[in-house]
Amino acid sequence: MSLKTGKKILSLDIPGYEWRDIFIDKHGVWHLDGLAKKPFSVLSGVDGVFNALHGTYGEDGYVQELLDTYQIPYTGSGRVASALAMRKDLALNCCVEQGIQIPASLLVREGDSREDVVSFYGKFSPPLIVKPVSAGSSVGIFLVSSEEELNGAIDEAFKFSSAVLVQEFIEGREATCGVIERFRGESVYPLFSVEIVPHFSNFFDYEEKYGGKTFERCPGNFSKEENLEIQRIAKLMHSSLGLRHYSRSDFVVCPERGVFFLEVNSLPGLTETSLFPLELDASGIKFEEFVKNVLDGIFN
C-alpha cells in the first residue's frame, strides 16, 4: 500500500513543490533513481519529506527518528507520537485516561503464563479478538471461539509482534473517521465518518479489508449522536497522542453499548481505494487541497 500511496502523491502537481521519488525497500535500504544509496546521500538537497510509508519502519517512529537526525521536516506525526499510535496497548491506555470507551483487553507478552489468558477467556462469551499490539492493516488478527483456538491465535500473533492483545468482541458496525489539522478554521477538523460493511462476515480482517469484500458507506449510516461521538473521539485521540497533520481512527458502534475506540492510524492509506480519500471526497475536499495543506504544515 505504501507504493500505491507514493504513486498517488507523485502524480499530483502542487504549485510551489517539486517531487523526488525516494524508495525504501523491506530491508530498510534507501533508493534514488533506482540506485541504492545511504539516507544522507538521498536526502541531500531535500527540503522536506512527504511520508507515504505505512506500517513497520515508516509508521512506528523509525523513519521519523532518522529524519529528525538529519533535521529534515516531514509530514505526519513525530517519532514519539508515531510509536505511541503504532502500539495499540499504549493508545488504549490513553483512552482510559481520557474516559474513552474501549473493549476489555488483556496484554500478553512472550513467555507470560497463559493462566491469565484462560481467566480472561472465562469472563466473556466467545468469540474473542486476538491481535498483535504493533502490526497494522488488520495483519495477524484472529476471531476465536475456544480456548484451543485462543492459544493457537496468540502463538500466530506473536509472529508479528512481541506482545499480543486479547480483547472482548464487540458486536456492532465498523466505523472509521479521519481528521485534518488547521483546516476550515479548526485546529483539528473531523471528516465524515465511514461505515464499513463486510459482505460475508461481521469481522473486518485483512482479507475483508484488501480482498474487495467490503462495502464502504460515506457518510456512515449512524445516528447524529453516534456520528458526533465518533468525530469527537477521533479529534481527541489525535490531540491526546500528539499526532500531527492528519490521522484516522477506527471504531465499532454497538447498538446497546455505544461507540468503542479500536485503534488510530497515524499515516492512513491515501490510495485510490483507501478510506481517507473517500472521506475527503464526501467532505467536499479535493485531494490536492488536502496534500497542499499537509505540505504547508511542515514549513509553516
Which CATH number does the domain housing residue 22 bear? 3.40.50.20
Region 246-264: mean pLDDT is 96
Q: Indicate whether 196 and 295 sit together in one domain.
A: yes
> Residue 193: which CATH number?
3.30.470.20
Q: Domain span at residue 247? A: 82-102+171-299
**Same-domain check for residues 150 and 205:** no
Q: Among the residues of the chain, which ranges form H helices?
A: 2-10, 39-42, 62-69, 79-86, 88-98, 115-122, 147-157, 206-210, 224-240, 275-282, 287-299
Q: How far is it between the farthest Cα atoms of the chain?
A: 59
Q: Tell me, what's the pLDDT at 206? A: 42
DSSP state at residue 3: H
Of 151, 168, 185, which one is at a domain's C-terminal end? 168
What is the tens place of the pLDDT at every residue in 12-23? 999 889 999 999
Q: Are residues 70 and 122 in the same domain?
A: no
What are the helix (H) ranges across 11-100?
Answer: 39-42, 62-69, 79-86, 88-98
Spell out the residues 6+ positions from residue 228 whose beta carbon is closer than 8 angstroms to its own.
none
- Cα separation, 175 vs 197, whole angstroms: 9
CATH of the domain at 118: 3.30.1490.20
Q: How many domains does the chain have?
A: 3
Domain shared by 91 and 183, yes or no = yes
Q: pLDDT tens digit string along 20-34? A: 999 999 888 999 988
Q: Tell me, yes or no, whether 214 and 274 share the same domain.
A: yes
Query: Residue 210's pLDDT is what?
Result: 44
> Is 63 in the same domain as 113?
no
What span, in angstroms and rounded, lies between the C-alpha atoms of 31 and 41? 10
Query: Are 98 and 225 within one domain?
Result: yes
Q: pLDDT at residue 164 above 90? A: yes
Last residue of a domain, one of 138, 168, 198: 168
Distance CA 282, CA 189 (A): 14
